């Protein structure tokens, strides 16, 4: 636990307590990812599963993590954090730019966002793409990436 200052520990404990619905200084496994994200991290679902030692679905719904058990998980996620660059995202979307004109089909982008990788819900995709499509139903992916990276 020496990776964190006393001030950080105090702040983290306060944050953690917001997820502690039982008052027993613990949170359910299924809340760990959301809690890590509330701490400013952005782990994938696979990374969350890894820090929890790849639990079964039953364990996700029935097991709990104490604050002291959570801290090493937070430290591990912080160490493994990787920032996705504009270039990385641009290269990923360029694959779908069939006409090599800086745009991708909005329908194809929707399909990719709900079916591949860290899947988004239909509602999340609609929020992301609101106002991004041109009259042909295409999305300028460089502008889209900039919008996504702004948060």
| CB neighbours of residue 103 within 10 Å | 23
Between 21-30, 85-94, 129-138, the lowest mean confidence (pLDDT) is in: 85-94
The tokens describing 82, both together, are 């990787």
Q: Which pLDDT value is given to residue 147?
A: 87
pLDDT band at 151 (very low <50, low <70, confident <90, very high): low
Terminal Cα distance for the chain, rounded: 31
Which DSSP string corresponds to 23-78? SSSEEEGGGHHHHHHHTT----HHHHHHHTTS--HHHHHH-EEEHHHHHHHHHHHH
pLDDT digits (tens, 9 = 90+) for 50-79: 999 999 999 999 999 999 999 999 999 988
Tell me, yes or no, if the pTM score tops 0.75: no
What are residue 140's DSSP bridge partners? 103
Q: What is the CA radius of gyration of the chain?
A: 19
């Amino acid at each position: 636990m020496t990776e964190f200052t006393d001030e950080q520990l105090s702040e983290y404990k306060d944050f953690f307590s917001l997820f502690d619905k039982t008052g027993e200084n613990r949170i359910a496994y299924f809340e760990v990812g959301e809690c890590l994200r509330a701490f400013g991290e952005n782990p994938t679902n696979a990374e969350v599963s890894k820090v929890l030692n790849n639990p079964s679905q039953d364990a996700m719904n029935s097991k709990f993590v104490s604050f002291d058990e959570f801290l090493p998980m937070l430290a591990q996620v912080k160490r493994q954090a990787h920032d996705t660059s504009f270039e990385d995202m641009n290269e990923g979307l360029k694959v779908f730019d069939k006409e090599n004109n800086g745009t991708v089909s909005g329908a194809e982008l929707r399909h990719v966002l709900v079916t591949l990788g860290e899947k988004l819900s239909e509602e999340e995709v609609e929020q992301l793409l609101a106002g991004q499509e041109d009259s042909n139903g295409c999305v300028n992916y460089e502008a889209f990436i900039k919008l996504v990276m702004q948060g």
